[in-house]
Amino acid sequence: MQPTVIFDLDGTLVDSRPDIRAALDRLMDARGQPPFTLEEVTRFIGDGVPMLLQRAFAARGLPADPTALPAFLADYEAHAAVQTRPFPGIPQVLDRLEAAGWRMAVCTNKPERAARLLLEALGLMERFAALGGGDSFPVRKPDPAHVLATLQAAGGDAARAVMVGDHHNDVASGTAAGLPAIFCGWGYGLPDMAGSAPTASRPDELPELLDAALAGVPFTSSR
C-alpha cells in the first residue's frame, strides 16, 4: 500500500511568521497598540487562530474582542503569501517524496480557507491529496481525530502513515492516532516539544527518517 506522510503547515512546510506578524500588527495598530517582535509571534503560533489572537491580546493587556477574529482572518487571507515562503529545501523534499511514491497531505490548525489560499498562492496545493484545516472537522490537533480524518480524506492507511510537524500538537496527535511522528527542528517549536519522536534537523533528512519510521527502526543521521 502507498505510504502517506501528513505534514503540519506553519513552521513545517512554510515560514508564515512574517505575514502573520504583519496582520497582527495591523490589527493592533487599529487599537493603538505597538507592533510585535517576530519572537513574540513565533510563540503565539501553533494552536489555531483563536488562540493566536488570545495570546496576542493578552500580551498587550487587552480584553477579548469578538470582532477581532473575522477582521484578522479577512486581512490575513488577503495577504497570506506576501512574504511567506516554503522553508529552504522543502520543495526539493516534496519532489523526492513524490518520486518515491509517497502520498502527501496537510493537517493544520490554520483555518482551511486560509491554508488553501496560502498553498495555492505558493503553487503547492496540487501536491497534496487532502487538506485538513483547523475548522475542517469538529476537532483539531492535538486531538488525534483531526489527523485520522485528514488521513482518511487523503485515502491513506494508518498502518502506512507518518505525522510530521514542529509542535507538540503534531507529535501528540500523531502518536495518539497510532502513527509514528517526526519532529521538525527548523520550525517554531522548542526542542523539548519533540518528546521521544526523532528530530529532523533539516528538511533533507525527512525522506530517510520517513523510511525508518515506516520500517519501525531508529533513525541515525549519517551527517
* Catalytic residue annotation: 8
Q: CA 124, CA 121: separation in Å to the nearest integer?
A: 8
Q: What cell numbers appear for 216 in the block?
A: 519501525
C-alpha cell at 127: 501536491
Question: Residues near 133 by Cβ (< 8 Å), separated by ≥ 6?
Answer: 108, 109, 110, 111, 112, 113, 114, 115, 116
Answer yes or no: are the C-beta atoms of 6 and 163 closer than 8 Å: yes
Residue 123 half-sphere exposure toward CB, CA atoms < 13 A: 4
Q: How many CB atoms lie within 10 A of CB 118?
A: 24
Secondary structure (DSSP) of 99-162: HTT-EEEEE-SS-HHHHHHHHHHTT-GGG-SEEE-TTSSS--TTSHHHHHHHHHHHT--GGGEE
The DSSP 8-state label assigned to residue 7 in this structure reads E
3-state secondary structure of 199: strand
